[in-house]
Amino acid sequence: MSRCARGAAVLAAAAAAVSVFAAARAPRPEEFPVGFFGVSAPADARALAEQGFDAVQSYAGDAASVALLARAARANGQLLLASADAPMAAGARAADFPGTVWYLADEPDVHGTTVAELAARERAVKAWAPQARTAFVVGDGRRAADFPGVADALMVDWYPVPHLALESAGDMVRLTAAAAGGRKVWAVLQAMDWRDFPQRDPKKKRIGRFPTADEIRFMSYDAVLNGAQGVWYFTYSTATGVDLGQRPEQMAAVADAARELRALAPVFARGREIAPPFAARPAGPAARAWTYRGRDYVVLAARRTGSDVLFPSEMLAAGWRPLFESRRDPRDLLRRFGASYYLRAHQVLVLESRLSPERLFGR
């Protein structure tokens, strides 16, 4: 059964899981942003805040629009990512855009922008706004190493559905993280249909579809498993002029994954990373683990297209429970074969341990 088909039971389970973190102060958006690209109006930013997104990006091209979005984002408790070009050209004061992260460039590796040109752009922005933070996005993680030492956050976008392996998005995050050199790494993931955008070669048959909820969820967690310290989705508005507010099914698929990440953001941003409680196996699941406020959290995923992977027996022991699921026993969520249990291809499970006095005291 797909995640979309589980209905009210899953939503109730997700709400209960989110309540686990309610006592923790939510991290600031810049600690682990969960954001959306392509936001043009304050009303859209507010609607996304209500859906659980604490960051928005805009391609607004005039200073007044950027100012309005900055004001709205600040009121919503959101981080705004936008270009400084228009405010700088208009002679605006940087102090009027507190908390904004300035977007230096979109895919310099694709558009032929050199590292020297990108660095010069950042120097100009920081001369105008000395305390500001900056970011840019590469279109291919293999090119991230071409832009060392520029910006405070290094982003990567990669949209594989339906023409590439789903795990290739996480692969690009891993390559970007390896080149980050201490910079924040933010993933920009697919929430769009390629058919809604112009095609480089109009003679080719148009191929595309919107990712499923399961695919969006997998890419979201796979990004974290590969080093993302924030996750964004592209895009709220499309080249056809339609936004996801007009496509509720698609919006729900993204928002469900975003709510899970927001619930876990305190763990990802402030938890102490620990070794997963089982031995790594070459054909086993990808996994990362953290301890936070006396509990351990483990994210496991079957990364390879078309391949189920053996689920670690240690994670079936009493004391672990799945989050964001309709069942309390992991066995009920896995494929059984004989005495063993398997994660299905691209399946993700998030498990939480019981409260541990030892963990509460930092061990």
pLDDT at 5: 46
- As a whole number of angstroms, the distance between CA 154 and CA 143 comes to 12
Per-residue pLDDT at 308 exceeds 70: yes
The fold of the 274-360 domain, in CATH, is Immunoglobulin-like (2.60.40)
C-alpha distances (whole Å) from 194 to each of 140, 157, 172, 216 are 17, 14, 19, 15
**Per-residue pLDDT tens digits for 170-206:** 999 999 999 999 999 999 999 999 999 888 788 888 8
Q: Is the peptide bond before 134 cis (omega within 30 degrees of 0)?
A: no
Domain ranges of the chain: 26-270, 274-360
For domain 26-270, give the CATH number.
3.20.20.80
Average pLDDT of the chain is 93
DSSP per position, 332-351:
GGSEEETTEEEEPTT-EEEE
Q: Is the peptide bond before 198 cis (omega within 30 degrees of 0)?
A: no
Per-residue pLDDT at 102 exceeds 60: yes
Query: What mean pLDDT do residues 134-151 have?
Result: 98
Q: Quick one: how far is CA 127 from the chain centroid? A: 30
- Residue 7: pLDDT band (50, 70, 90) is very low
